[in-house]
Amino acid sequence: MTVRSFGARLAEEFSAGRHLCAGIDPHAPLLAEWGLADDAAGAERMGREVVAASAGIAACVKPQISFFERFGSAGFLALERVLADARAAGLLVVGDVKRGDIGSTFAAYADAWLAPGSPLEVDAMTVAAYMGFGTLSGAFPYVRDHGKGLFVLAATSNPEAREVQAARRADGSTLAAAMVADAEAFNAAAFGDEAVGSVGVVLGATLDLATFGIETAGSPRRSSWRRRCPCSPPASGRREPGSRTRGRSSGASAAHCSRTSRAAFSRADQRAWRNACAPVRRRSPPRWPTRRDPPPPGVPRARPTQYIRGR
């Protein structure tokens, strides 16, 4: 049986109008806002609720592995259950693991996260290739033959990264631009006939990529939604009266789309994500959804959690 590539599956999600990637980041302050304990059980509860809210709305979910890993074996067991829910819901899973090493060591990372049947199997993983793009070769068989994907760190939004990522190589290109070029070359060689390659790059949505030597002429036009999920807090930190958000204005939170996504949201995406934003506990009467705007079919509305409108 021919295995469909990760890029082909992602392109299918885009064609269906699903451009969102829901992050699952159960850090301590966010668990406290949800009224959950800062332990493996709390992380599992949050992760599974975000998956339930994302089904049929988002293209994929992206669990940040470190927030599960900090609880040891119990955290990994909780993560396995979240991943199982995501597979059952038909969601693509991007494991935010940011692994990077050489030779057999990186190959072992690929076995852990990409091998079919692995307890931690995901559809794609984030990787760091600053020791050379060729160090990712341990994952290439999974990408070519098993429908897996990679997202390579290129130009990230943290201020500390610029000194390294904007450094110039002997050929004049920046390190960030070289990561993009290497990913493009791999996709052209392995998936030349497909519209979307299986190796992507991580680009900070708040960056001027031209200063990193990265050409973005073909990128989607920046919209008034600022490449964020509509439930993200505005840059000023102000919130709509009566609403509540779970994130910090400096970064994406558990139910917010990936801040590195550069796809523009359609109006249908905006309405659907507002209706299905992951559940949050609140004491005041909910303002969202209304009778006129019910949640999409298949999205649970379990008590005592409610779906509310955020910004």
Active site residue 148: no
What's the pLDDT score for residue 255?
Answer: 35
**Could you say which DSSP state residue 63 is in?**
E
Q: Which residues contact 68 (CB under 8 A, 6 or more apart)?
A: 26, 40, 43, 47, 75, 76, 78, 79, 82
Catalytic-labelled residue, pool 48, 70, 87, 98: 98
Distance (Å, whole) CA 209 – CA 43: 34
What's the pLDDT score for residue 216?
Answer: 72
Phi, then psi, of 279 in degrees rounded to 5: -70, 145
What's the pLDDT score for residue 132?
Answer: 94
What's the pLDDT score for residue 2?
Answer: 80
What's the pLDDT score for residue 192?
Answer: 87
Distance (Å, whole) CA 176 – CA 153: 8
Which pTM value belongs to this model? Answer: 0.71
> What are the beta bridge partners of residue 309?
none
What's the pLDDT score for residue 215?
Answer: 84
Structure token pair of residue 71: 């609880």
Q: Tell me, which fold does domain 103-216 have in CATH?
A: TIM Barrel (3.20.20)
Q: Which residues contact 128 (CB under 8 A, 6 or more apart)?
A: 98, 99, 100, 152, 153
What's the pLDDT score for residue 174?
Answer: 94
pLDDT averaged over consecutive 10-residue blocks of the chain (311 residues)? 90 94 97 97 98 96 97 98 97 97 95 97 97 96 97 94 92 94 95 92 92 73 36 41 37 36 43 47 44 57 46 43
Domain boundaries defined on the chain: 19-99+225-311, 103-216
